[in-house]
Amino acid sequence: MNFKQANDKIRTEVRRQFRFRLSKIFYVSSGLILFLSGFSRYSLNLGLPQSDPDNGGLFLPGGFEAVVVVDSLEGQARHIAVNNNGDIYVKARNHQLNGGFGNIALRDTNQDGKADIITPFGRYDGHTYGTAMRIHNGYLYFSSELMVYRNKLKRGQLVPDSRMDTIVIDQPPYHEHQTKPVAFDDKGHIFVGWGAGSNAGQVHNRQPGSPGVGEPDSPDKGNPLLIDHGGIWMFDANKTGQKQADGIKYATGLRSIVAMEWDPKSKSLYAVNHGRDDFRMLWPDLYTPWESAMLPAEEFFKVKQDFNGGWPYYYYDQLKEKKLLNPEFGGNKIKEGKGAQLPKPLIGFPAHFAPNDLLFYHGKQFPERYKNGAFIAFHGATNRSPYPQAGYIIAFIPFENGVPAGPWEVFADGFAKVDPIVNVSDAIYRPMGLAEGPDGSLYISDTEKGKIWRVMFKGNKKTFGTTELAAMAKRKITASNIKTPDEIADNLYKGKVTASVVYATYCVSCHQNNGKGDGNRFPPVAQSEWVNGDKQKLIQVILNGLKGPVLVKGNSYNEVMPAHGSFLSNQQIAEVLTYIKSNFGNTPEAVTPAEVDAVRQLSNKQ
């Protein structure tokens, strides 16, 4: 090989190497560009666990998926909190079923989205209404019906071994709407909800025709419950042993607050008030079954200091968009009194949806339209018969400048797993608690089985919009647990003969059409020892009423059973007790008017 040939060979090899390296750079660069492009679009999906094929049974907007973190917890669940390392803390609904513990800690050790460590902890007295579970400034705050507690969390430690501090103390007795939700502002305060143990401030709670106590709008002669109940109190978040008198009454006129949260974006407190119940049962000559199912609204408020929601004197009619006077205080569905002077809710949600948690979303995983918006867990209540029970969803409200920027939307549905929901006990799951994970996932808890879902977004954030929301928008106007029911077509008992008029009028809203109650607030009459036991004792309960807590089939209930003897005749009581004892799997036995009268006469002599 001469010099020229050798030189040409070297040049050829250099060109080959150059082309190879250039192509390599091209492919690497192209791959990098594609990677970066995908990263910008889906970067937050990296590290998210695999979703369940059926999203845990949930219906969600397009691009959202879900994984079941835990299928069931023995202690069931109320509110939940997620730590910055992903550990989940659950307020147990039932201490007795949870080995006597009030809390549950969960950890996912292999990052598959499923909790593989589940540890009950925290012994303190509590029944099934205790609610709060929040993490604030390195502390875990939680509540029973009467107390707010906290434990210091340690880095990497799942179950806290620190001393349990008592932050806020309430006094017995236990009563309905005692839930103690908590929220925190940015100035060191803790807000605590103080529910009122009454439906509408009556002389006799939940008794038909019973008038309200006090003069509406009177600072001196108002309803006495408002002195120390029916509102929100503000305390020092770091001070122990505080009684109600040590706090500041921040808001009043709120019957029952379970969903409450501070929004750091707008620096404001928000709450969703449970509207009153039983229009039809208490005032059958004034309200139709449809009106009783539709009214009053669940009210979403922005709560400033000295706020007044108007309870027990007023309710919000979301159909008329007016605050109206309650019938207990002389209302007739038209009278407004001074209701127009009270603040209107940001949104009046449909009646008996039961708002039980509120969360403002601040993560980056979800599409931009969800940033700073509010999620509300609607647990579903009991007062819709003869129409389908309603709620059982997670709603979303877009926000801008501290107020809703559009109508509310259905974000998650499918919890109940039955359609229609005739009885509350028919619902398999009922959403309760909400929490945001460190990666922006949304966690949802259920009260009935203690199930927890983790909702994630794995779609295209840039193109997310109307198409992805269409199916959920359709559910809002078609699903029987969400839509406004047609007064005739959606009446579940249209054309059917009512087996017991008394039961359908006065009993069904609490004990339900199947006699099973709601599993927490109202006890079952189905196969109940109270029904199948001493007949005279049962008659006495109907005549004179009963206050909780009472045990029925091993579970504690703490609502008020009104004295039906004040408005039902001996014949009516005999009829309804014979109906109850002859149905719902009970031992058949007749009750006669003479037997009722004998117990009534004996009670009058005592």
Domain ranges of the chain: 3-45, 55-478, 501-605
CB neighbourhood size of 220 (10 A): 6
Which DSSP helix (H) or strand (E) runs through 358? strand 355-360
DSSP bridge pairs for 357: 377
Q: State pLDDT tens for residues 550-594.
A: 888 878 787 778 888 888 888 888 888 878 877 888 878 788 888
Above 50 in pLDDT, residue 43?
A: no
- Compute the average pLDDT of residues 443-470: 98
Lowest-pLDDT range of 227-231, 523-527, 595-599: 595-599
- Compute the average pLDDT of residues 162-178: 93
CB 490 within 8 A of CB 478: no
- Compute the average pLDDT of residues 444-462: 98
Residue 261 carries which DSSP code?
A: E
Question: Could you give the 3-state DSSP secondary structure of residue 129?
Answer: coil
Helix axes 570-581, 535-544, angle to 10 degrees: 130
Lowest-pLDDT range of 42-46, 189-193, 230-234, 278-282: 42-46
Q: State pLDDT tens for residues 484-540.
A: 999 999 999 887 766 687 887 788 778 888 888 877 778 888 888 888 888 888 888
**What tokens were used for 185?**
């502002």
pLDDT score recorded for residue 106: 98
User: Residue 167: which pLDDT band, with cuts at 50, 70 and 90?
Assistant: very high
User: Residue 597: which pLDDT band, with cuts at 50, 70 and 90?
Assistant: confident
Phi, psi of 561 (to 5 degrees): -95, 110
Sign of CA dihedral 14, 16, 21, 25: positive
Sheet of 257-263, strands arranged across: 257-263, 268-273, 298-303, 347-349
Lowest-pLDDT range of 343-347, 439-443, 567-571: 567-571
pTM: 0.85
Which DSSP helix (H) or strand (E) runs through 546? strand 546-547
Amino acid at 176: E
Which DSSP helix (H) or strand (E) runs through 89? strand 88-91
SS3 content of the chain, % helix, strand, coil (to 5): 25, 25, 50
Residue 505 carries which DSSP code?
A: I
CATH node for 501-605: 1.10.760.10
pLDDT score recorded for residue 569: 85
Question: Could you give the 3-state DSSP secondary structure of residue 189?
Answer: strand
The whole-angstrom separation of Cα 106 and Cα 124 is 19
Amino acid at 132: A
Phi, psi of 437 (to 5 degrees): -80, 170
- C-alpha pair distances (Å), 542 with each of 178, 268, 270, 292, 526: 25, 46, 40, 23, 16
Above 50 in pLDDT, residue 34?
A: no
pLDDT score recorded for residue 80: 98
Q: State pLDDT tens for residues 172-184.
A: 888 889 999 999 9
CB neighbourhood size of 586 (10 A): 16
pLDDT score recorded for residue 578: 78
Above 50 in pLDDT, residue 33?
A: no
Residue 96 carries which DSSP code?
A: G
pLDDT score recorded for residue 16: 56
**What tokens were used for 578?**
């014979």
**What tokens were used for 472?**
């959920």
User: Residue 25: which pLDDT band, with cuts at 50, 70 and 90?
Assistant: very low
The whole-angstrom separation of Cα 180 and Cα 171 is 12
CB neighbourhood size of 334 (10 A): 9
Question: Could you give the 3-state DSSP secondary structure of residue 551?
Answer: strand
**What tokens were used for 318?**
């979301």
pLDDT score recorded for residue 260: 98
Residue 297 carries which DSSP code?
A: P
Sign of CA dihedral 422, 428, 433, 438: negative
pLDDT score recorded for residue 32: 39
Helix axes 593-605, 570-581, angle to 10 degrees: 120
pLDDT score recorded for residue 532: 83
CB 185 within 8 A of CB 214: no
Above 50 in pLDDT, residue 114?
A: yes
Q: What residue has token string 């027990």?
A: 312
CB neighbourhood size of 14 (10 A): 10
Question: Could you give the 3-state DSSP secondary structure of residue 55?
Answer: helix
Looking at the chain, the number of H-run helices and the number of E-run strands are: 11, 34
What is the DSSP pairing of strand 257-263 with strand 550-552?
A: unpaired
What is 55-478's CATH topology?
Answer: Neuraminidase (2.120.10)
Lowest-pLDDT range of 167-181, 386-400, 588-602: 588-602
Mean pLDDT (the chain, rounded) = 90
The whole-angstrom separation of Cα 584 and Cα 461 is 51
Above 70 in pLDDT, residue 17?
A: no
